[in-house]
Each structure stands twice: as C-alpha cells, then as structure tokens.
Amino acid sequence: MIEVKVWDDDNECYWRLFGIYARTDEKKRRDQWRTLGNRIGRERDPCLFIGDFNDILCNGEKDGGNHRSAASMRDFRDFVANNELLDLGYEGYPFTWRNNRDSLPIQQRLDRGFASLGWHDLYPDTKILHVALEGSDHYLLLLTTKKSEEWRGRRFTYDARWSKSDDCHNLVARDWAANVWGSHAFRLSEKLKIVSRSLKRWYRENGRNTKKTIDMLKGELRGAYQSKHFASEEVHIKERLLREAHKGEEAYWRAKSRVQWLNDGDKNTKFFHTQTMKRRRSNKIKGLEDLQGVWRSDADGICSTAVNYFSDLF
C-alpha cells in the first residue's frame, strides 16, 4: 500500500490517496483490511482508495470459474461497509483482470476505486475508465474528476418535507380541483402536470434548504449559549426549530435514498445520504457498447447506440 497526502489548490484542503495492491492470500488480505481500516479510523482527511484489491464484492463481478460463496467475500464487504466507502464505478469493459487461459477462462473486476463521502463531496463528477493494456492481464484504471459535457433534463421530484406544510396541502387541493376535460387518464395526467408546476413555483418562492437552516440555527444557538444575557425561552424555541430541521433533512434524504426498511425518526441522515450517492452513481448511464463493439461515452453516441439497438429489436 502507498499513501500520499495531496493538497488541492482549488478546494484549499488536503486529502489522502491510498494506492492498493492487496495480497492474494485470504488471511494476509484480511489483515490488510484490518490495518487499513484502523488507518482510516485515525484519518480525518477525505480519502481515495484505488488499485488492485484482489477480491470482488459479488458474483456479478466475475465471469467463469466456480461460484463464490457469500462467506468468501465477507471480509471485503465488511471492510467497505464498516468504513463507509463509496464505489466509484467504471466506464468500459466490466472486468479488469483475466487469467489468459484458453481452457477455463476467468475474468474478474479486481481493480477499482473507493472514496470516503468527504472525498466524493469534493469531486462528485469523478469517473474511472477501464483502459486495455497490451501485454498485461490487468486493465489500467484512468481516473478523472473533470465534469463531462452532458445534457440533463429537469424532472419533478416530490420532497417528503412538503407533506408537513399547510401551504403545500392547500396548493395541491386547489389545483386538483381544477376543471379538466377528457378521459380519466388524460385528466389525471393533466392534473399531475398542473400540481407539479405549482409545487415547483411554490418551492422556488417559499422553499427552505434545511441544511442551511440547520447551520444557521446552530450558529445562533452557539451565540446564545455564550451570551451574558441568556434568554431561555428564545433558546428553547431555536432548539425546537433545530430538531424539526433535523427531522426534515432526514426525511428528505430518506425519500431520495429509496430505502424503505428504516423508519422515520431514526437518526440515519448520513446513511440515507450515502445510499442516495450510490444510487445516483449506479443509475447513471456513462456509456454504451455499440453493435460493432465500440464503447461510446459521448451523449450523441449513447443516444444513437440506444436508438439503433431498439430499432433493430422492434
């Protein structure tokens, strides 16, 4: 393992780069995960981990050979989960290593990148390209933090925090009562459009960012606690508002994470945020392989590849 401390001039902060080459022996690799986990626990800087981890997280990252049991992957999975690491994904061919045998060929995704949440917040547009190297049984990992040029259409997303607002309730009730003529399906579609437009406009004019509200209330409470003229009633009000803001922030990230097996009220905002980041990365189409076997990562190439595939299909 190689560790480098990096200074970022743009973000004016340090972060840590860990170059990984994991052992092939399972016991020695388990010791490596334990040592690296202890190192992460002592480090407050954002961290990036990239290299050959010599293991996989699921059988979908393997082609050929014997099926891996869940127990055989537990050490690696525990290392990733316990240290709250985010898989940075990839573009290109899905496997990074092959055994180069004609009989019983095996391919696996042994090389990858992980990041701490703090590092991903600094570089949210990070992507890793799998680049073939002639004469090597491993693919090269090419990491870039530069945002690619792409078109992203705006879509309506309901914010769970709105359900606690009387203004929101009144707005929906008013717009849903609008007179729309046509079939049942048409009326439903048109009313949904009317309500979504009104909610977007209402949020732009009245919506509050709970994260900013939390930071503002924390600052005001710190000032109130240290004031010579302590006003208990005012402090109690701000503390209540802070609790409500925390609940709103948790509800927001819970809705975006699509996680349904935890209840509202659980203090898991960071967990929900992590699940949302993972879902965004996994849902994003970064490239497609066309019928000629060419990897297309530009917007026009992705569109034409998808259109051609479905045109031939239907």
pLDDT (0 to 100) of residue 226 = 67
Spatial distance between the Cα atoms of 43 and 57, rounded to a whole number of angstroms = 24
In this prediction, residue 6 carries a pLDDT of 92
What is the model's pLDDT at position 261?
42
> What's the one-letter identity of residue 77?
R
pLDDT for residue 259: 47
pLDDT tier, 160 (very low <50, low <70, confident <90, very high otherwise)? low
In the chain, which ranges are E strands?
2-8, 13-21, 47-52, 62-63, 86-87, 97-98, 107-108, 111-115, 127-131, 140-144, 288-289, 295-296
The mean pLDDT value of the chain amounts to: 81
Residue 264, pLDDT > 60, answer no
The percentage of the chain sitting over the pLDDT mark of 90, rounded to a whole number, equals 29
Given a cut of 60, whether residue 310 has pLDDT beyond it is: yes
242 pLDDT higher than 50 = yes
Q: How many residues does the chain have?
A: 314
Long-range pairs of 42-46 with CB within 8 A, sequence gap ≥ 24: 43/16, 45/5, 45/13, 45/14, 45/15, 45/16, 45/118, 46/13, 46/15, 46/16, 46/115, 46/116, 46/118, 46/119, 46/121, 46/122
Whether residue 11 is predicted with pLDDT greater than 70 in this model: the reply is yes
Domain borders along the chain are 2-147, 160-283
- pLDDT the model gives residue 35: 92
Query: Model confidence over 29-87: pLDDT tens digits?
Result: 999 999 999 988 887 889 999 999 999 999 999 999 899 999 999 999 999 999 989 99
| pLDDT above 90 (res 263) | no
CATH architecture of 2-147: 4-Layer Sandwich (3.60)
pLDDT digits (tens, 9 = 90+) for 127-137: 999 988 877 88
- Tens digits of per-residue pLDDT, 185-195? 888 888 888 88
User: pLDDT at residue 268 above 60?
Assistant: no
**Sign of dihedral through CA atoms 67, 70, 75, 76?**
positive
pLDDT > 70 fraction of the chain, expressed in percent and rounded: 80
CA-to-CA distance for 29 and 220, rounded, in angstroms?
A: 49
Q: Specify the range with the lowest mean pLDDT, choosing from 71-85, 92-106, 179-193, 265-279.
A: 265-279
Predicted confidence at residue 270, as pLDDT, reads: 58
Contacts of 147 by beta carbon, 8 Å cutoff, 6+ apart: 125
